[in-house]
Amino acid sequence: MTLTARVGSETTAALRSFLRRRTAVFFTFFFPVIIILIFGALVGTQPTGGGLFAEPPAYYLPGYLAVVVLFTPLSRVGSEVARHRAGNRFEKLATTPLSRTEWLLSHTLVNVGIIGVAALVIFVLVVVVTGAEIPLTADLALVVPFVALAVTLFCGVGALLGRIADSQDGVIAASNGIAVPLLFLSETFVPPSLLPAWFVPALSLSPLTYFARGVRNVTYPAAGGDPLPNLAVLGALTVVFFAAGAFALPRTD
């Protein structure tokens, strides 16, 4: 069996497994939509008015996208690893030609596809609901690799959590404990100007910061800057975290 056949078979099985969990499918799309409706429509932004949402609506698009590229792969892949460990499935996997890297790649492809669709829905809703003005330029296509790389990176982190945590409940608790601080301390919803000066350099320690900066470079012209350096750093971090996640997957239980 070829590499393509092995990965394709596992990807198909993982996709069917996800689609059978209707609650997971529903909240993958419902949660970011609620965030947009609450903060984009009900709370609204107040440009130059001060406060947390003092920037124009387009400024917060990376934050809305960050909700799905961060929370979904962490919880889904982490829970899947924990579920496989509880059912001794990695021991059975070791008897097949499918390697740990191929297993993680298959589940990552499913997440990239699902979250890619969710990101498109979010993009449209942000424009329609909040009135964000997104320039239609050739650079806008860079949002696709930014989303794909960020999802892959956090799939790797999710695999690490699934290996370290002792149960699915532990994975969910750990993923929330990591995701919530990252979501608000990665130049997503909170501008650096609202943070203490001594803390601002620490923003560069978060992989999500490079996603937010890069997407904002593309979708919010007032931010300025070149998105390619952020894409390069995000790509390098993705390789590191994906490799670490694949290495951490157990051979047996």
Instruction: Give 160-171 pLDDT, tens digit per residue.
Output: 998 888 777 788
Inside any domain, residue 72 = yes
| H helices present in the chain, as ranges | 3-20, 22-35, 61-86, 89-93, 100-130, 143-164, 168-184, 207-219, 227-248
What is the rounded distance in angstroms from the CA atom of residue 215 to the CA atom of residue 16? 31
**210: burial class by Cβ within 10 Å (0-12, 13-18, 19+)?**
buried
Apex 248 CA angle, 81 and 87, nearest 5: 30
List the domain range (segments joined by +) for residue 199: 3-42+56-248
Inside any domain, residue 122 = yes
More confident residue, 108 or 93: 108
Inside any domain, residue 79 = yes
The first and second tokens of residue 13, run together, are: 């099985």
Inside any domain, residue 192 = yes
pLDDT of residue 53: 67
For the chain, how many structural domains are there in total? 1
pLDDT of residue 52: 64
pLDDT of residue 209: 95
Inside any domain, residue 36 = yes
More confident residue, 24 or 231: 231
pLDDT of residue 154: 95
Inside any domain, residue 47 = no
The first and second tokens of residue 63, run together, are: 């934050």
As a whole-number percent, the residues of the chain with pLDDT over 90 amount to 32
Q: What is the mean pLDDT of the chain?
A: 84
| Cβ atoms of residues 13 and 49 within 8 Å | no
Inside any domain, residue 253 = no
Quote the pTM value: 0.89
Inside any domain, residue 195 = yes
Residue 110's alpha-carbon distances to 72, 119, 177, in angstroms, are: 11, 14, 24
For residue 42, what pLDDT band results from cuts at 50, 70 and 90? Answer: low
The first and second tokens of residue 52, run together, are: 């947390």
pLDDT of residue 19: 73
> Can you tell me which residue has the tokens 């560069």?
204
b or e along 89-120 (b: 16 or more beta carbons within 10 Å of the residue's beta carbon)? bbeebeeeebbbebbbbbbbbbbbebbeebbe
pLDDT of residue 174: 87
In the chain, the amino acid numbered 145 is: P
Question: Is 90 exceeded by the pLDDT of residue 130?
Answer: no
